[in-house]
Structure 1
Amino acid sequence: MKTMQVPSNLFTVAPGVWGRKDLFVNFFTVQDLVTDQWVLVDTGLKWSAPKIKEMAAYLFGNESVPKAIILTHGHFDHVGSVIKLAEEWDVPVYAHHLEIPYLTGHSDYPPPDPTVGGGLMARMAFLYPKSPINVWRFLRVLPSDGKIPVLPEWRDLHTPGHAPGHISLFRDSDSVLIAGDAFVTTRQESAISVMLQTKVISGPPKYFTCDWDAAKKSVDELVNLHPKTAATGHGMPMRGKELKKALNDLQHDFEEKSIPAQGRYIPNPAITNANGVMYVPPKKYDKNELAIRAFAVTTMLVVGFMWKTFKKNKRIRQNEALLEVEYNY
């Protein structure tokens, strides 16, 4: 019997919950511990579908199909493969009703803000897609009572700020939280932190967060759940005392450390409703914008080349070590 290789960047979150990282974003599978049925939470980037299917095959078998797809929100790095997978699997896609305009082609998101500071990932935000997708044929609205039809052990919480209809998922039985991007466990604005997966709790990624008052209230709500395990859209899971202290620090220092000192959505947020974006604050003028953009693109290419070289050299070292073991044997 052929043993299936463990997919790269696969990690365990909690019983029945697994995640996988693709470049800089995570997606998750959640299995119902009673029925053994499972759902996919978020769908990564446009090219993530093969990695998601590989993960599902490893965990649940080659022919296994999820009961549904649940979206924490509709930003490009969380819905990249949703249309392809929904069509292939013929499964419903659940989201909060305030995300519907961005998932049915009716409204762009508020533009990402490259002026918030924090590193290369933020500076590159002008390149990030903000246009809506259209997955209306499969789309279902999550019930307003927080119950998830396909996951009876879990409930969803509306945690806006990073996106108007952003949700987080919580399992009360063991206090497991899938936070989405309501907060994250790496400094997502920094390319170095993203590459090294430096584990530190931060507020929502600054460059896409369009309402900081709402983001603060969402963090307060999640901290007050007292989660014992937290998995987020960016970064590795945190647990126990480490998580408790980090969340308390995040809540206490949110205004100082999470809210950027400047930016398009400081001090005024974007205004949205069930139809989409109603108002966006004017773009902040930066006289050095062209030079900064050119520098950001150049830096991204250099960092990408260095990372590719690092990964290649790591594989070579691993292969050499394997050959040495085989030779000695």
Structure 2
Amino acid sequence: MTYGSDYKPIPAISFTSGEGVEILSDLYCYNVQIVNICLVGSRERNDFILVDAGMPGSANEIISITEKRFGSSSRPKAIILTHGHFDHVGAILELVSHWQVPVYAHKLELPFLTGKMSYPEPDPSVEGGIVAKLSSLFPNEPINLGVHIHPLPDDGSIPKMEGFRWIHTPGHTPGHVSLFRDADRTLIVGDAFVTVKQESLYSVITQEQQISGPPRYFTPDWKASWESVKKLESLRPSVAVTGHGLPMVGEALANNLSMLANDFGRIAVPDYGKYVNQIYKH
């Protein structure tokens, strides 16, 4: 297993870094610098899944918070990746080596997780803020998980994660998925939409809550992204845990997600950038 040669710690942090939120009895969201991971499962049964794998260099922190919640030497049954960008797989190799558990992702994401293909380059020219301008410094080369990565089943089920199904939500990446539990309408979004303006350094640091589309500097397909948001809005989720920003619930979620789905071109799509086609602004 290998990371790309450009993988390195990123000196970015928010006020909520190192903080966790128990959203439901079996859903815990923890912030690693600027990105969220999720621990899904029962504390009583020590039976859980890790969703996404944090920032580069964060493996010890993730292991520590996992053991704090589920007990010493605990380990997840599997790791589910919403997608393979560096801030969602930053500690994956160390975690797999430590826990010896399988990793699952959408089949269209596998080239980026088996060393075969790099994502489109980030766009520092995109409309946004300082974070967008610095995005050319972010790791972009593929990692290689070798035999440890597996495709999610085509039927929408998620191995070892009973009650949830995966939903293909491309745009931010080709194989991006969100995870949904129909019984209580719980949604783990990944970066299909976020609740912080991720391009703005001020918003990233303060975590000021604001529903937004996927991070602009790493999103090459805005048409697909809009369709993905519409798909998620149609589920009428009761709670949404996003890859960036604080969880959103209830009426605030319903109102904001409806607004985003209906007015995505104005709210989410940047006015300019190398991946922007102005037809998607309308």
Using the size of structure 1 for normalisation, the TM-score is 0.78
Instruction: Name which of 114, 128, 132 aligns with 2:142.
Output: 132
- 1:1-329 alignment runs, 5 A limit: 8-31=18-41, 36-267=46-277
Contact 1:103–1:133, Cα closer than 8 Å, also in 2: yes
Higher helix share: 1
- Residue type of the alignment partner of 1:204: P
Q: Which has the higher contact order (CA 8 A, sep 6+)?
A: 2
Contact 2:43–2:69, Cα closer than 8 Å, also in 1: no
Change in 2 beyond 3 A, CA 1:206/1:38? same
Instruction: Give secondary structure in 2 for the equivalent of 1:111.
Output: coil
Task: Measure, in 1, the Cα distance between the counterparts of 2:43 and 2:203.
Answer: 34
Match of 2:7 in 1: none
Task: Measure, in 2, the Cα distance between the counterparts of 1:184 and 1:13.
Answer: 17
Task: Measure, in 1, the Cα distance between the counterparts of 2:20 and 2:255.
Answer: 26
Contact 1:29–1:41, Cα closer than 8 Å, also in 2: yes
Identity rate, percent? 47
Instruction: Give secondary structure in 1 for the equivalent of 2:147.
Output: coil
Number of residues of Structure 1 aligned to a counterpart in Structure 2: 263
Change in 2 beyond 3 A, CA 1:34/1:54? closer
TM-superposition CA deviations, 1:51-97 (whole Å, max 9, x none) = 11111111100111110000000000000110110111110000000
Task: Measure, in 2, the Cα distance between the counterparts of 1:163 and 1:35.
Answer: 34
Match of 1:4 in 2: none
Contact 1:174–1:228, Cα closer than 8 Å, also in 2: yes
Using the size of structure 2 for normalisation, the TM-score is 0.90
Instruction: Give secondary structure in 2 for the equivalent of 1:221.
Output: helix
Displacement over 2 Å in runs of 4+: 32-36
Change in 2 beyond 3 A, CA 1:114/1:88? same
TM-superposition CA deviations, 1:188-232 (whole Å, max 9, x none) = 000100110101110000000010010001000000000000000
Contact 2:46–2:70, Cα closer than 8 Å, also in 1: no
Instruction: Give secondary structure in 2 for the equivalent of 1:137.
Output: helix
- Residue type of the alignment partner of 1:142: L
Question: Residue 15 of structure 1: CA displacement?
Answer: 2.5
TM-superposition CA deviations, 1:255-314 (whole Å, max 9, x none) = 11211111111229xxxxxxxxxxxxxxxxxxxxxxxxxxxxxxxxxxxxxxxxxxxxxx
Contact 1:189–1:205, Cα closer than 8 Å, also in 2: yes
Contact 1:68–1:91, Cα closer than 8 Å, also in 2: yes
Task: Measure, in 1, the Cα distance between the counterparts of 2:171 and 2:138.
Answer: 18
- Residue type of the alignment partner of 1:114: P
| Structure whose alpha-carbon radius of gyration is higher | 1
TM-superposition CA deviations, 1:102-157 (whole Å, max 9, x none) = 00000010011111121111111111111000002211110011101111110000
Question: Residue 8 of structure 1: CA displacement?
Answer: 3.5
Which range is displaced more, 254-263 or 8-17?
Answer: 8-17
Q: CA RMSD in A?
A: 1.6
- Residue type of the alignment partner of 1:198: E
- Residue type of the alignment partner of 1:225: L
Task: Measure, in 2, the Cα distance between the counterparts of 1:95 and 1:215.
Answer: 18
Question: Residue 13 of structure 1: CA displacement?
Answer: 2.3
TM-superposition CA deviations, 1:23-77 (whole Å, max 9, x none) = 1111111115896510110011111111111111111001111100000000000
- Residue type of the alignment partner of 2:273: G
- Residue type of the alignment partner of 2:149: L
* Structure 2 unaligned blocks of 5 or more: 1-16
Match of 1:303 in 2: none
